[in-house]
Amino acid sequence: MKDMALTLPTYDDMLAAHDRIRPYIHRTPVLTSSYFNELTGAELFFKCENFQKAGAFKVRGASNAVFGLSDAMAEKGVATHSSGNHALSLSYAAGRRGIPCHVVMPRTAPEAKKAAVRGYGGIITECEPSTSSREAVFAEVQARTGAEFVHPYNDPRVIAGQATCSRELLDQVEDLDIMIAPIGGGGMISGTCLTLSHAAPGIDIIAAEPEQADDAYRSFKAGRIIADDAPQTIADGLKVPLKELTWHFVSNYVTDILTASEEEIVDAMKLTWQRMKIVMEPSCAVPLATILKNRDRFAGKRVGVIVTGGNVDLDKLPWMKS
């Protein structure tokens, strides 16, 4: 599917994706918190994709890819490499269609995520925790099975699917000034750019990234993709680098990229659990961490915060003593 990487998804692709995936996803709720509004001076609207099917927004893109396949293409199943939530989501979507899903996952991925992938019927092949190993092992799996590759983010079908999230948020909350989401490979941010650049170009798009995996931040400043191999951060969904398609959206439409330290991410995560009573994973605490760190930038604004997922290993919470 090399050609796909060069095909930009359109706003109409997003609308078609939304119609296609609606039976398989939740229209997730938007929560507010007077505590966080007072703390930040902003009006925050949390789009809770942690309540999404399979526990994360990634089911949007995965479902769009799976249910867009012809019967002939679908027969051999789908395959992917993923740091976690895309694997869960593709397994879920493939299960709903009744086709196999092959997943290459780092052996160091949280046990809770591996068990959940298997719970949805995904077939796991493990690799080392580096981009290079993942790609090598994946090539072998794909050659053996002939399954359709669904990249976690560098795929127009996936980006069009993720773009349905910000479309819903626009329908749920009026007059936003800013939307903010985490950035790893850039699938969610690219989808947000796709929707907002067409439907609400006046809304600033801010990406939030861990300091310890700040390749997107450095790419943004340098004007070209800078990719790190195997960065270390508690925000395990955000270790992967930008690719051609997501770089297109990031470089053209993102207003700014802000970063947060590991401690700031964990503090924001814990504070959200305490005050909002929702389970969010470390990756999706990064936007709130950057808001708390840059209050002047957000004060007085209406801010849509995409809470990307809630899949954590409850036996290995970052504030637990190991």
Q: What are the tokens at 128?
A: 């080392």
Q: What are the tokens at 38?
A: 């007072």
17 contacts: CB under 8 Å, gap ≥ 6: 60, 64, 68, 157, 160, 161, 163, 164
Contact positions with its own copies (CB under 8 A) in 198-237: none
Contact positions with its own copies (CB under 8 A) in 168-197: none
Q: Is 293 exposed, middle or buried (0-12, 13-18, 19+ CB in 10 A)?
A: middle
- Closest approach of Cβ 56 to its own copies, in Å? 10
The CA distances from residue 102 to 64, 105, 132, 161, 198, in Å, are 17, 10, 18, 20, 35
- Closest approach of Cβ 284 to its own copies, in Å? 11
The nearer residue to its own copies, 96 or 248, going by C-beta atoms, is: 96
Q: Dihedrals φ, ψ of 204, to 5°?
A: -65, 145
Choice from 280, 285, 286, 306 touching its own copies (CB under 8 A): 280
In this structure, the strands spanning 178-182 and 43-48 are unpaired
Are the C-beta atoms of residues 85 and 185 closer than 8 Å to each other? no
- Closest approach of Cβ 190 to its own copies, in Å? 25
Stretch that binds its own copies, among 13-21, 200-208, 222-230, 278-286 (CB under 8 A): 278-286
The nearer residue to its own copies, 55 or 182, going by C-beta atoms, is: 55
- Closest approach of Cβ 139 to its own copies, in Å? 33
d(CA 177, CA 30): 16
Contact positions with its own copies (CB under 8 A) in 22-41: 29, 31
Stretch that binds its own copies, among 4-12, 152-160, 183-191, 310-318 (CB under 8 A): 310-318
DSSP 299: T
Choice from 6, 73, 139, 317 touching its own copies (CB under 8 A): 317
In this structure, the strands spanning 148-149 and 178-182 are unpaired
- Closest approach of Cβ 320 to its own copies, in Å? 6
Size, binding site for its own copies by CB under 8 A: 21
Stretch that binds its own copies, among 158-166, 188-196, 230-238, 267-275 (CB under 8 A): 267-275
Contact positions with its own copies (CB under 8 A) in 72-131: 112
Choice from 279, 292, 297, 301 touching its own copies (CB under 8 A): 279
Residue 277 within binding range of its own copies, rule CB under 8 A: yes
Stretch that binds its own copies, among 65-73, 79-87, 122-130, 308-316 (CB under 8 A): 308-316
DSSP 228: -
Are the C-beta atoms of residues 79 and 147 closer than 8 Å to each other? yes
The nearer residue to its own copies, 40 or 246, going by C-beta atoms, is: 40
How would you list the strands of the sheet with 78-81, edge to edge?
Answer: 123-127, 101-106, 78-81, 148-149
Stretch that binds its own copies, among 60-68, 100-108, 129-137, 309-317 (CB under 8 A): 309-317
Q: What are the tokens at 101?
A: 């899903």
Choice from 96, 97, 248, 270 touching its own copies (CB under 8 A): 270
Provide the 10 A C-beta neighbour count for residue 245: 25
The nearer residue to its own copies, 246 or 272, going by C-beta atoms, is: 272
The CA distances from residue 142 to 82, 103, 111, 145, in Å, are 14, 10, 24, 5
Residue 283 within binding range of its own copies, rule CB under 8 A: no
Q: Which residues bind its own copies (CB under 8 A)?
A: 29, 31, 48, 50-51, 55, 112, 270, 273-274, 276-280, 310, 314-315, 317, 319-320
